[in-house]
Amino acid sequence: MRPMILVVEDDDATRKMIHVALQDNGFAVISAGTAQEAMHAIREQSPDLVLLDLILPDADGVEVCRCVREFSDVNIIMVTAKRDLTDRLAGLDAGADDYVAKPLAMGELVARVKSQLRRRRMREEAEAEIIRCGDLQLDRSRLVVRVRGADVDMTEVEMSILSALAGAEDHLLSSAQICDAVWGKDAGDPIVLDAHIANIRRKIEHAPDHPEILLTVPGVGYRLG
């Protein structure tokens, strides 16, 4: 199914130009000329992305964006003729994901749309990915580990460490291998890793000094039990 783009623009010529450019790039396109029409379309048709003009005949685009964010996380790209950075930042502060300025360059506009949809797809794929390893269930997108039925919040680094171990053969890695996986080749510090291991144990173990889940393998490294 083709991604659906809602174009919110009161100028007929501009709306048609955007419509043609998006259709030529394989998108399904619906249009709205007012804030009221836009809100109705978002609620009823659930577009994948909204191109939202800053100035509409019945409302300010920033306020429309703010209202949309009360009920939807649809990607929004603000379209503005104003050069003032304050106006652009206002849209981002209201919840827009990006902005483009008029006069529009259709190539740039299509590229921005594709970029937003690609990021959305990657995030949704990550949200669907749950890693299970023994007593652990790792939700990498939410930075949450479920252990013994309880959710535990993790930092980015802590989740990266657990994910590396969960994905390894026998769930076993040397300290150097974990550092390479988390920080990049030869960029990690084993002392820093040990500190993170200790923090993880405090979160997931009944008795951190006597771990049963995140184990030390003497002379090798760490493994998930």
- Kindly report the CATH number assigned to the domain that includes residue 116: 3.40.50.2300
Q: Are 101 and 211 in a shared domain?
A: no
Token match 């029409």: residue?
Answer: 37
Asked whether the predicted pLDDT for residue 114 surpasses 70, the reply is yes
Q: Are 34 and 95 in a shared domain?
A: yes
Tell me what percent of the residues of the chain surpass a pLDDT of 70.
Answer: 94
Q: CA dist 202 to 132, 138, 213, Å?
A: 20, 17, 11
Beta bridge partners of 153: 144
Q: Are 116 and 136 in a shared domain?
A: no
In the β-sheet with 221-224, what is the strand arrangement from edge to edge? Answer: 172-174, 221-224, 214-217
Nearest to 162 by CA among 146, 148, 186: 146
Q: Are 116 and 9 in a shared domain?
A: yes
Q: Are 164 and 205 in a shared domain?
A: yes
User: Which of residues 189 and 174 earns the better pLDDT score?
Assistant: 174
Q: Are 9 and 108 in a shared domain?
A: yes
Provide the whole-model pTM: 0.60
First to last CA, the chain: 43
Q: CA dist 184 to 15, 200, 216, 219, Å?
A: 46, 20, 22, 22
User: Which of residues 207 and 100 earns the better pLDDT score?
Assistant: 207
Residues 2-54: tens digit of each pLDDT: 999 999 999 999 999 999 999 999 999 999 999 999 999 999 999 999 999 99
Q: Are 42 and 122 in a shared domain?
A: yes
Q: Are 37 and 107 in a shared domain?
A: yes
* Amino acid residing at 164: A
Token representation of residue 5: 């783009």
Q: Are 60 and 142 in a shared domain?
A: no
Q: Buried (b) or exposed (e) across 91-111, using 16+ Cβ within 10 A?
A: beebbbbbbbbeebeeeebbe
Residue 60 sits in which domain range? 4-126
Q: Are 11 and 37 in a shared domain?
A: yes
The residue from 126, 157, 180 where one domain ends is: 126
Report the distance separating Cα 51 and Cα 64, nearest Å: 12
SS3 string, 70-89, reads CCCCCEEEEEECCCCHHHHH
Q: Are 97 and 11 in a shared domain?
A: yes
Tell me what percent of the residues of the chain surpass a pLDDT of 90.
Answer: 56
Report the distance separating Cα 98 and Cα 75, nearest Å: 9
Mean pLDDT within 78-87: 75
Q: Are 180 and 135 in a shared domain?
A: yes
